[in-house]
Structure 1
């Protein structure tokens, strides 16, 4: 076998591992029944455990809020939690919560009230944690309460340097034309070297994008054996020629509108293989982005690093692995881009990091070049490795151009890959198309994935 489907699968798996080694398993020590995950780690309960009452999840007051770094107190029928300049006050049997932030005080109404059981105070966790600015969710499959606490994840990190770079970008006044190309070289050792090329074009605004990509993957076809193709030797040459013709134009299109929370993408080549499932060249897959809460962020005139990190933790939270990944990612960004990470030489700021993040060994070098209060460009070199797989990125971006080189090595298959990508950005009067094309067949990606998971079960 030269370049078989199993090897293609191995390559794909290596890519997934290298680009998303960020979803560790749930932490050990889960509570029997309902578990609580705070910022990616499970909260330990010693003498009182979470429980459901009146269709709401109640947690032992002291254990959860002390885990969040708050000081808790109980007096008569009043329970309080204090963290920084925020004080939360609840009364047993009352559905009112008082939240004092500095000199400002507000009252939040709950639909259930705190209570005492076995000398332990239980509070409705969603209302209590949200009062501290947390995002609270529920993973039904894992029976786990999910809490993401921006203040706890970011800690004392400040981002004045990154904020100055963001503010110093030349803000596009209208729509921007995108024009780029890329080359991917794959070295499979004894199985040969394969080059793939492609082009990217499109239009983007502050909140929308219309992108088209074409790829030439035909070099793979002639390396496929009869076994790979599932045909006899007598049929192989004809099938290889057929596959080469198909793979010569492996195109992809995407239309996205953050204000509307919509994303559509089209992969015409799938029609060649999934026609029996009703897939055509005009099948577009839809993805609902409305739960990500991006509208306010994209509408903001000035975005800060704090805004970006906080926004990552906003939206629907219903999967424990995703919550862990988000917590790990925010911690990593706070570590890499905080002011304490940078040193200054004139108008150039450099941050170097070597350590471990999200279960990976990581080395990074970030350089921000300013012209006074204007951003000239920003570059980042990053190497990540885990389980022998190593990925290196070298990215430089300005307001008019993006250059990126990515290399990857995967020891299990002996595969090495290099991708070079360059894209220019320029003003255009054309607006991005964000809706479905006329006559398109829409298929919900979420429904498709749910169906696939159900079939697997």
Structure 2
């Protein structure tokens, strides 16, 4: 019961963050006995041949697999080419070749599969890599080790009506800005942090603040930004000895006048950073040293398609498109499809169109929504009925106690004018396991944003963050190239499990 609650709320949190703000299978065991393939929560019952494992890769009979996924399949016996078509995509590949061609919206892309399709002599069935076929179809793929099951989920089936069910929330994505033009960004930020001595550790208490400004030019996913900031550690210094202060003095002086320049090529993901702080980490670094990393590769290593996610800021991507991109992660539990579907239904009742109150004044529509314990419990009860969640799967009394203790509450206001975003306000607060609290207040419109957030973990830390930004059209030229003769230091990919 608790497991289900945690799953639903975890998935709900992820989807909520997407809605309110704008992979691969693990190598399988060599023994293929008992391996299953699940599509949208149901195991595929292979009638002509069984699932196989070849060189550590799971392969499946192509026709039944693709037809189960909703594709129309054809096989050219002469060329041995297999073609699978859906209403918006076509994939084709040839027996014996690792090449697979994907045709979507008139754009063709050829990729290499990990295992070439082959004909099994015993069953006379053609086998294909389940991971590559599913991902080529645009589906999410995962592996449940305990159940020895490959998981395939078509997010479009879950989010088919998301633009209709959440048309009010999706207004946060709508803009009438000319996204082909170049914009200048100006902003300022502050962060105050106080930590306490953690019990049973050698971690020392900290007390510092960061204040800074940001300025830059952006065009679509390309950016050239400069940040200047000051780190104030005066309160912390009172706890240090004269010797310790002397040792830290060079770094403290640098922190009083810190800067960072960032250049990002949105097409490739290559990002260059230069800062006077880098000399603390690398004594050989100077003002001509630029650290390089590829942010897309970094997030790809964690199973996140960051480029597609960021693209919604530079295109008029619909909410359904964004949800499909955000769902392209690897799942590790055979209940994933059911959990996602249940979470979607819960959110539909909690923050879907029917949950909002609408008022119109002139040509401005204002949509408001209050979220509290009563609203959450009502949404859960409706979800239980709609999705057939049984009483033994979720303890409403226990959940009601949790909601009372957490004191969760939120208010969401969205305004539109002529179909485009006019303004928004997101306020929320709550407690964290009786050991802390949080509060946030985010307001803005298409060109402005103001953020005020606090986190108070009574026994560990306190944090307060404030930020505001403004964008305006500019004639300034965008330059994502680093200076000629710059020293480039490659930053390795970080381990996503750390």
Residue in 2 that maps onto 1:280:
286
Which whole-Å CA distance do the structure 2 matches of 1:41 and 1:225 have between them? 58
Matches within 5 A, 1:428-447: 428-445=474-491, 447=492
3-state DSSP of counterpart to 1:133: coil
Residues 331 and 286 (structure 1 numbering): CA distance in 2 closer, same or farther, change over 3 Å? Answer: farther
Residues 101 and 370 (structure 1 numbering): CA distance in 2 closer, same or farther, change over 3 Å? Answer: same
Deviation of 1:115 after TM superposition, in Å, equals: 4.7
Match of 1:425 among 471, 485, 488: 471
Match of 1:350 among 347, 360, 368: 368
1:57 correspondence with 2:103: no
1:210 correspondence with 2:228: no
Residues 215 and 56 (structure 1 numbering): CA distance in 2 closer, same or farther, change over 3 Å? Answer: same
Which whole-Å CA distance do the structure 2 matches of 1:163 and 1:85 have between them? 28
Residues 308 and 40 (structure 1 numbering): CA distance in 2 closer, same or farther, change over 3 Å? Answer: same
3-state DSSP of counterpart to 2:258: coil
Residues 411 and 242 (structure 1 numbering): CA distance in 2 closer, same or farther, change over 3 Å? Answer: same
Residue in 1 that maps onto 2:6:
none
Which whole-Å CA distance do the structure 2 matches of 1:284 and 1:313 have between them? 34
Deviation of 1:96 after TM superposition, in Å, equals: 4.3
Which whole-Å CA distance do the structure 1 matches of 2:217 and 2:244 have between them? 41
Which whole-Å CA distance do the structure 1 matches of 2:325 and 2:42 have between them? 23
1:269 correspondence with 2:277: yes
Q: Is residue 51–residue 59 contact of structure 2 (8 Å, CA) maintained in 1?
A: yes
Which whole-Å CA distance do the structure 2 matches of 1:97 and 1:237 have between them? 71
Residue in 2 that maps onto 1:14:
none
Residue in 1 that maps onto 2:254:
246
Q: Which runs of 5+ in 1 are unaligned?
A: 1-20, 23-29, 62-77, 227-232
TM-superposition CA deviations, 1:159-211 (whole Å, max 9, x none): 43345553443335632221111222234479686443111111112231111
Residues 172 and 397 (structure 1 numbering): CA distance in 2 closer, same or farther, change over 3 Å? Answer: farther
1:219 correspondence with 2:248: no
Match of 1:236 among 244, 254, 259: 244
Deviation of 1:436 after TM superposition, in Å, equals: 1.9
Residue in 2 that maps onto 1:25:
none
Residue in 1 that maps onto 2:397:
none
- The two structures have a TM-score, normalised by structure 2, of 0.60
Which whole-Å CA distance do the structure 2 matches of 1:118 and 1:311 have between them? 37
Residue in 2 that maps onto 1:403:
450
TM-superposition CA deviations, 1:212-246 (whole Å, max 9, x none): 112211325752755xxxxxx55234234434312
Which whole-Å CA distance do the structure 2 matches of 1:311 and 1:377 have between them? 26
1:198 correspondence with 2:212: yes
Matches within 5 A, 1:47-86: 51-53=52-54, 56-59=57-60, 79=64, 82=67, 86=71
TM-superposition CA deviations, 1:77-118 (whole Å, max 9, x none): x636556964457799x964443435x895622440465989
TM-superposition CA deviations, 1:307-350 (whole Å, max 9, x none): 22333456xx7x779xx99x999998994875455443331123
Residues 164 and 97 (structure 1 numbering): CA distance in 2 closer, same or farther, change over 3 Å? Answer: farther
TM-superposition CA deviations, 1:344-401 (whole Å, max 9, x none): 3331123455589xxx987554321012323211232345876656544322221231
Q: Is residue 183–residue 195 contact of structure 1 (8 Å, CA) maintained in 2?
A: yes
1:151 correspondence with 2:156: yes
Match of 1:376 among 422, 426, 434: 422
- The two structures have a TM-score, normalised by structure 1, of 0.64
